[in-house]
Each structure stands twice: as C-alpha cells, then as structure tokens.
Amino acid sequence: MSNLTNIVNSVPLISTLALSACQGRPDRPDTILVDYRCSPSEINLITKAMDEWSEATDSAEIDIPLSLHFNSDEEPDGYLNWERGSEAVIYKIETTNLGYLVLKEEYGVDFYGAATEFTYLVFVEDNIPGLVEQEIFETYEEAFYKTALHEFGHFFGLVDHLSSPHSVMAGQIYAGVETCIDEETLEYYCNLQECGPNKHPTCKYKHEE
C-alpha cells in the first residue's frame, strides 16, 4: 500500500462491511463497548466522530451510548464472530491479530479500520501511524479521527464508497484533500436512514465557483 501511495499520493480504503451485507440488517445496539486499548484521547476522538455524524444527519439512530473498558485481549480475534447481543464493540487491534491476518489475506491489502453495520468497528493501531508517515495526514490524532469518521459511516449502514474525493466515505484518501460529511454523503445516509430537518454538511473547505 505504501508504494501505491508514493505513485498516486492517495491511500485506498477497505471495509469489512460487505462480509455481512447478505445477513440482513441487524438491530441498532443499545450500547457500544469501547476497547480499553483506546487512550482517553482516542475515546474523545471517537465521541467527536459520532457527534459529527449526529450533527450532520440530525439523526437519533446515531445517539448510541459508549461504555468504556471492554477488554479485547480476552477475545483477540473475536470481531470475526458476527453474532452479538444488544451491544456493539469498538476494537483496537494490531496487525498480528488473527482476525486482521484473515481479512488481509482475503482483501490482499493492509487496512487501517473496518466496520460492520451496528455490530463492530475496528482500529488497526499499528497501521494508522502509517497515514502520517506517508504524509496523508499531519498528526496521528487527525489520522485516527478521519479513520473513525469513515468507519462510523460503514457502521451506520453505508456499504459503498462514494465518488467525491471530499466525502469522508470516499474509497481513497488523497493527501491535501479535505474530507467531510458532504452533500453526497448526506444524501446517501438519508436514503437509508431517517434524517432530521436540521441536517447539513460539515465541510470546512470552500467550494469552487
């Protein structure tokens, strides 16, 4: 993946959402358990990403409480199990994790995060810093936050990647291109879920006339 980045100055994104697309829509979870591996700063970024989706869509579907200190070490490859109760899970794993290795072999590329609708979201902790090393993002916090925004989109039901390079759901991240929950992303979400009357893009960049 790094040699791809050197050539086209962008990073392709992968989601595991497609693996469960044929299994029917799961119920919205009551709680999202957050891996204890996530630092307080990362938990704040996760919360910020959920808040941005909530603000943009004005949707109650996104208002799911977080419960901290889930221990992923007890089930190091557990996120490959599609079954769950009333809780979803946020994992933070390393590339040595069995589940990561299985998915990498299937897709043939490294990836930074993954998600299945209303079931789990994964952060690959030793791959995300590579987004900074490849100068896609300036800081680890920015890389983690943008990964969270993208994967929450899949978590909330957006299966496909979008065409606009400015969409947080674009299939590639381009260095120097600001991404956000833009009009295309909102239209996609609101066609699947119920949006409120105060929905609006979260873009900070200025559109070209």
> Does 168 map to a domain?
yes
Domain total in the chain: 1
Residue with tokens 């590639």: 172
> Does 209 map to a domain?
no
135 C-beta neighbours (distance < 10 Å), count: 11
Read off the pTM. Answer: 0.86
> Does 128 map to a domain?
yes
Query: What is the span of the domain harbouring residue 156?
Result: 2-192
> Does 200 map to a domain?
no
Q: Is 121 left (phi over 0), alpha (psi -120 to 50) or beta?
A: beta
> Does 186 map to a domain?
yes
Q: Which residues contact 79 (CB under 8 A, 6 or more apart)?
A: 72, 89, 91, 93, 99, 120, 122
Tokens, residue 119: 């079931």
> Does 67 map to a domain?
yes
Report the pLDDT value the prediction gives residue 20, as an integer from 0 to 100: 39
Which CATH number characterizes residue 150's domain?
3.40.390.10
Pairing of strands 120-124, 113-116: antiparallel
For each of the chain's 209 residues, which pLDDT tens digit applies?
222 222 234 566 555 443 434 345 678 899 999 998 899 999 999 999 999 999 999 998 898 999 977 777 777 666 666 566 788 989 999 998 888 888 888 778 889 999 989 988 999 999 999 999 999 999 999 999 999 999 999 999 999 999 999 999 998 888 888 999 999 999 999 999 999 999 999 998 654 43
> Does 74 map to a domain?
yes
Q: Which residues contact 17 (CB under 8 A, 6 or more apart)?
A: 114, 115, 116, 117, 154, 159
> Does 84 map to a domain?
yes
Spatial distance between the Cα atoms of 11 and 172, rounded to a whole number of angstroms: 5
Q: How far is CA 157 from CA 16, 38, 58, 154, 203, in A?
A: 12, 23, 16, 5, 21
Question: Cβ(181)–Cβ(52) under 8 Å?
Answer: yes
Report the pLDDT value the prediction gives residue 86, as an integer from 0 to 100: 83
Question: Cβ(181)–Cβ(53) under 8 Å?
Answer: yes
